[in-house]
Chains A and B, each alone.
Chain A
Amino acid sequence: MKRTGIYFWTGAALFLGAALLMTQVIGNQYPFFAGYVILQFIVLAVAWSILGGYAGYVNFGTAAFFGIGVYTSVFLFKATGAPLPVQIAAAAAIGALMGFALGLLTLRMQGIFFSIATIAATIIIETAITNWRYVGGAAGIQLQRPAVTAPFDNYVEMLFFVQAMLVVLAVAISRYIQRSWMGRGLQALKDDELAAECTGVPTLRLKLMACVISGALMCAAGAPGAMYLQYADPSSAFNLNYSVSTLAMSLIGGTAHWAGPVIGAIVLGTTQQLLTVTISSEVNVLVLGVMLVLFVVAAPEGIIGLVRKVRRKRNEGEG
């Protein structure tokens, strides 16, 4: 293992250890409620960037994957009382299938047409769920949490830790893709799909793999959401805000490096949590919009790009 790899896995282990320690030490529930949402957005943003950042296909269907994740849990829990790990695994499997369908879509559409098609698919899926009585229909459905597993003494704390594990998983996968032949292939097809295809990059296989991985992770991130809220309804589970927030976090962080979406999700997610508590959820959306526009206009490479620029200037200054 290379040295950066050792650093990475040590960092991941420390992160999980800290998360576990938090659940044992902190008695107040609020940090876990807020932290869960931020962790969930890290997974979504990292997963989104695998397709949106590396391959350049702007997916506005994050809400569809997230919502299907939530509703997979709802269905399994209502039908069989399946435990949380089963819910997440099933959601990931369904997400992978949806991702495959999304990948087939990239065969026919690129650019804005792909983006619009993903919005369209989101609304269609939402409407189908709205009309499905078994999972509550438009009115939504209440869920009763089962007993919590040791060593946690509270369900939200457990969900927090589960989501932290998903973060490590998502980041590890994204980091691996970026550093492997897949990342380079995706980069090539982002720059020029036709040229990449001509020089022997298996574009279709790469796109399908990126879509499947991205979709599975997004659905998995949504799966614990049903138990988190103890309630699910289509219009909030499939809310377009998830799509735009995820996109904003990735772009604000920068999509050139796996750390970009993580940084973006932490910055924007924390800001949103603070704003929701201190001011209101409307202002929260306003800040999301303003930050998205500002970054897209003034710092197209995101925070990662800004950091790189500063570093380059410093190096030039020294040399």
Chain B
Amino acid sequence: MFSFELLRDAVLIGVLLGCFYAAVSLGLSIAFGLLDVPHVAHPAFLVLAAYVVYFLNEHYGVDPLLAGLLITPLFFLFGLVAYRLYYETFEKRGSDAGVRGIAFFFGIAFIIEVLIILQFGVDQRSVTADYVGKAWRIGEMRIPFRLVVAFVVAVALTVLLTLYLSRTFMGRAIRAVAQDQEALRLMGANPIRIKQWAFGIATAVLGIAGALLIIVAPVEPTLDRAYIGRTFCVVVMAGLGSMSGTLVAAIILGVAETIVLTLFGASWAPAISFAMLLGVLAVRPQGLFGRRS
């Protein structure tokens, strides 16, 4: 039953899927990797974005990718507010921020989940667009077009964010605040405003990531639980805060998932990301491209 063709297909689909995983993890890479915010509600924000895209597509016929782009300013503001709330209640008070921070974000994630259920119900939802449901045929192979779209957008997003963080003033400031907040403060800059801005960016990216999420597969309200594993796996494996590392780590995860899926069947799939996450945490907590030794 095992053949070279099967493996080749799995790897190819895995790479495409991996790029998509990178797109949904980039925000967390900033929020958790650079800013050290224990943002377990990140996947819930992602699913929320997917539902907003669904709403725009279903009721106004907006193209899902365009809808994703349209909601980014909204999510940017949402991120600013969320970080301010987190900062005022936890970081500012100092002690024990970690424990309560995680509890706080888990509470937020549950609230979002239930609000989605109350508004949209528990059924799966998907979007309609020209590129959803079609496939490219290369010889024997079928490549779903929606994965290609996700791949292109994901790579573009990664490149853009890498450039933003390395070339622009604000981007460099964000990386500086991740390295040494105190030094920044002594130089007269306000580290909290920079972090708030960065968290806004991290959340804004989710607008487009959410669009990709619902393009790649139908969504349901509790989908965020599976993505806790995937996004944290990618970010931790990448080494906290590395954008290009995020892409590589996500591709590794995508390929691993599709290979296991092909060899052992779908029932083992949910464990892959969590197993890799646990493995990385136990063996190499600084990640593959870690900034901390």
Question: Are B108's CB and A289's CB within 8 A?
Answer: yes
Q: In the complex, A183 Cα to B111 Cα: how many Å?
A: 34
- Interface residue? B135 (CB, 8 A): no
Q: Count contacts on A: residues with CB < 8 A to the other chain.
A: 41
Contact partners of A128 in chain B: CB under 8 A:
271
Question: Are A120's CB and B270's CB within 8 A?
Answer: no
- Interface residue? A165 (CB, 8 A): no
Q: In the complex, A279 Cα to B110 Cα: how many Å?
A: 18
Secondary structure type dominating chain B contacts: helix
Q: In the complex, A240 Cα to B274 Cα: how many Å?
A: 14
Secondary structure type dominating chain A contacts: helix
Stretch at the interface among B92-100, B159-167, B212-220: B92-100
Question: Are B110's CB and A244's CB within 8 A?
Answer: yes
- Interface residue? B210 (CB, 8 A): no
Question: Are A248's CB and B229's CB within 8 A?
Answer: no
**Binary CB contact string for chain B from 4 to 29 against chain A (1 if under 8 A, 0 otherwise):** 00000000000000000000000000
Contact partners of A52 in chain B: CB under 8 A:
99
Q: Count contacts on B: residues with CB < 8 A to the other chain.
A: 40
Question: Are A116's CB and B281's CB within 8 A?
Answer: yes
* Distance of B96 from chain A, by nearest CB (Å): 7
- Interface residue? A119 (CB, 8 A): yes
- Interface residue? B115 (CB, 8 A): yes
Question: Are A120's CB and B229's CB within 8 A?
Answer: yes
Stretch at the interface among A107-115, A150-158, A202-210: A107-115
- CB under 8 Å from chain A, chain B span 36-50: 38, 40
Q: In the complex, A270 Cα to B113 Cα: how many Å?
A: 22
- CB under 8 Å from chain A, chain B span 258-285: 267-268, 270-271, 274-275, 277-278, 281-282, 285
Contact partners of B187 in chain A: CB under 8 A:
none
**Binary CB contact string for chain A from 115 to 152 against chain B (1 if under 8 A, 0 otherwise):** 11101110110111011000000100000000000000
- Interface residue? B78 (CB, 8 A): no
Question: Are B281's CB and A108's CB within 8 A?
Answer: yes
* Distance of A253 from chain B, by nearest CB (Å): 13
Q: Which chain B residue has the least Cβ–Cβ distance from A241?
A: B110
Contact partners of A248 in chain B: CB under 8 A:
103, 107
* Distance of B39 from chain A, by nearest CB (Å): 9
- CB under 8 Å from chain B, chain A span 277-304: 282-283, 285-286, 288-290, 292-293, 296-297, 300
Question: Are B114's CB and A289's CB within 8 A?
Answer: yes
Say yes or no: A240-B225 contact (C-beta < 8 A), given A127-B271, A248-B103: yes
- Interface residue? A162 (CB, 8 A): no
Q: In the complex, A124 Cα to B226 Cα: how many Å?
A: 12
* Distance of B30 from chain A, by nearest CB (Å): 16
Question: Are A289's CB and B107's CB within 8 A?
Answer: yes
- Interface residue? A251 (CB, 8 A): yes
Question: Are A123's CB and B274's CB within 8 A?
Answer: yes
Question: Are B278's CB and A124's CB within 8 A?
Answer: yes
11 pairs, CB–CB < 8 Å, chain A vs chain B: A58-B99, A108-B281, A109-B281, A111-B99, A116-B232, A123-B271, A126-B271, A128-B271, A131-B267, A285-B110, A289-B107
Q: List 7 other contacts, CB 8 Å, given A124-B278, A286-B118.
A: A108-B282, A111-B38, A112-B101, A119-B229, A127-B268, A244-B110, A296-B107
- Contact residues of B with A, CB < 8 Å? 38, 40, 85, 89, 93, 96, 98-104, 106-111, 113-115, 117-118, 225, 228-229, 232, 236, 267-268, 270-271, 274-275, 277-278, 281-282, 285
- Contact residues of A with B, CB < 8 Å? 52, 56, 58, 60, 105, 108-109, 111-113, 115-117, 119-121, 123-124, 126-128, 130-131, 138, 240, 244, 247-248, 251, 282-283, 285-286, 288-290, 292-293, 296-297, 300
